[in-house]
Amino acid sequence: MPDRAPLRIVLAEDAALLREGLLAILERAGHEVIAAVGDADALLAFTDHTRPDVVITDIRMPPTHTDEGLRAAAELRRRHRDLAVLVLSAYVADAYLAELLDTTGGGGIGYLLKDRVGHVRDFLDSLDRVAGGETVVDPQVVRGLLNRHQPDGPLDVLSEREREVLALMAEGRTNGSIATALFVSEAAVRKHVGNIFAKLRLDPTTDRRVSAVLAYLREA
């Protein structure tokens, strides 16, 4: 018996084998896949009709196999502000990520690479976090964006070490996990995090950790 809360899900993936594999994983975890579709028009129609908890969608779908899934997800979040969306991609596409993060809405957002689905427990944990309202971005995506930093951006005030800490924060790591990864003390990490908040002038009444991560991802 699964110990995670069951979710009502609309799944959109044009590759039949991957779609069936995801369907099997989700149902074994106790979730209800109320629709499994292969194009963006069906994704829009079924989501509007059934009002799921989460939409899981590929970025590239028919007819052009470019960004139909992403555009459909953005439209659905405009229509249903609390809808959680988990986007799957075959590669790191920073332009797609920026557009997804800029979409208004109160529900969680996730961006995972498709090979992440091979790690079932991680995939299901990410799904739960997105359903709970969090922003979840695959660590490989974050590392790729770190190498594409643009000079003179709003994060240029950060030191190299502070940027490393912020990149690990974007992976969803705790201060303790960051300290282990960087071979420093947890107190040092707390100091770096405080410096990041101060330099980015984040509103102390908001979740500054999330705000810092979103600022980082949008600039990258």
Per-residue pLDDT of the chain (220 residues; tens, 9 = 90+): 456 679 999 999 999 999 999 999 999 999 999 999 999 999 999 999 999 999 999 988 888 888 888 888 888 888 888 899 999 888 766 555 655 665 555 688 888 888 766 688 888 998 998 998 887 877 776 666 655 555 666 678 888 898 888 888 877 778 888 899 999 999 999 998 888 888 877 666 655 666 666 666 666 5
Write out the residue range of the structural domain in which residue 191 sits: 149-219
Does 14 lie in the same domain as 113? yes
Q: Would you say residue 1 lies in a domain?
A: no
**C-alpha dist (Å) from residue 86 to 40, 136, 146, 175:** 14, 9, 22, 25
Q: How far apart are CA 105 and CA 135, in angstroms?
A: 12
Q: What percent of the chain is predicted at pLDDT more than 90?
A: 31
Q: How far apart are CA 97 and CA 114, in angstroms?
A: 15
Does 181 lie in the same domain as 119? no
Q: Would you say residue 100 lies in a domain?
A: yes
Q: How far apart are CA 98 and CA 215, in angstroms?
A: 10
The residue from 114, 137, 160 where one domain ends is 137
Does 118 lie in the same domain as 23? yes
The residue from 137, 171, 189 where one domain ends is 137
Q: How far apart are CA 114 and CA 103, in angstroms?
A: 22
